[in-house]
Amino acid sequence: MGQIAFVFPGQGAQYPGMGLDLAEASPAAAAVFRMADALRPGTSEQCFGGSREALQETANTQPCLFTVELAAAAALKERGMEPAAAAGFSLGELAALTCAGAADFAVGFQLVCRRGALMQEAAERNPASMAAVVKLDHETVEQLCSRFDGVYPVNYNCPGQVAVAGKAASMELFSAAVKAAGGRAIPLKVGGGFHAPFMEEAAAQFAPVLAAAPLKQPEIPLYSNVTGLPYDGDCRELLTRQICSPVRWEAIIRHMLAAGVDTFVEVGPGNTLGGLISRIDNSARVFGVSDRESLARCIAEGLTC
């Protein structure tokens, strides 16, 4: 029998009403929402009843997603499922960090709130958008990006899919070049050009916030977006770089598989990460937990794998 890993999604997974069913189904999940509301009043209300537009604002997206993801993880642990490893995509890395015991909920939540505010400020100063490029290999996407001013490969998601961030003035021409090369550029519902040089100022401002945070060593292997490998030593430097560095998601999953993980649970809204994992290795077992029904299914099947 292999190991179970919890994986936590990033921005773009949010949707109105997320987390409400979990809070009603799980006392542990409901307790997480209460903790979030004590630190940032109105967080539950935004998750349960906020508009799509409000949830897309980075300063709201990050604390709301973090809360729903930690609520889902709490519901899983409440029912006896413990991960052997953890990783998160972009924002999700802070949720993974907290789930892995490197930060308590209050510390993780406050980091996410500050990170979200800094990234939104950087996005407003440096207008940019993101798109997922499909049907082209990584090298081709890198070559296409190099032809345009202010367009960067930022998320290496799986074979045949790389997300890019770029200046608005360049993205239309870039998308046309992708189409001419046989690929397709799909706009992403995020509020800025993340994991690119557009975020360098946010990373610099986040560094002292991390330096002051009481972080501990994770209790289970925790994989870094920057390296694709488990953290070894203080995570602060890599978490700072993560804001303006590409996410090496495919590398993370391949290293997890090599370490003995064969079951992945996407903890929180959406099913994007599960789809990417299946494309990286279709023999991996993949579950998602975002509501009462998926929680029950994951526990019933995941604990008997």
Distance CA 166, CA 32 (A): 36
Residue 195 bears catalytic tag: yes
Query: Treating both helix axes as pointing N-terminal to C-terminal, what angle do 105-125 and 58-78 enclose, rounded to 10 degrees?
Result: 150
Of the residues 26, 44, 129, 195, which is catalytic? 195
Strand 161-167 versus strand 128-134 pairing type: antiparallel
Distance CA 18, CA 243 (A): 25
Of the residues 26, 44, 90, 290, which is catalytic? 90
- Apex CA 212: angle with CA 208 and CA 215, to 5°? 120
Q: Residue 262 phi/psi, 5° resolution?
A: -130, -5
Which residue reads 């890395």 in tokens?
Answer: 93
- Listed in sequence order, the residues at least 6 apart from 53 whose beta carbon sits closer than 8 Å to its beta carbon are none
Distance CA 205, CA 74 (A): 31
Q: Which of 85, 81, 64, 65 is CA-nearest to residue 73?
A: 81
CB 120 within 8 A of CB 59: yes
Which residues are known catalytic residues? 90, 195
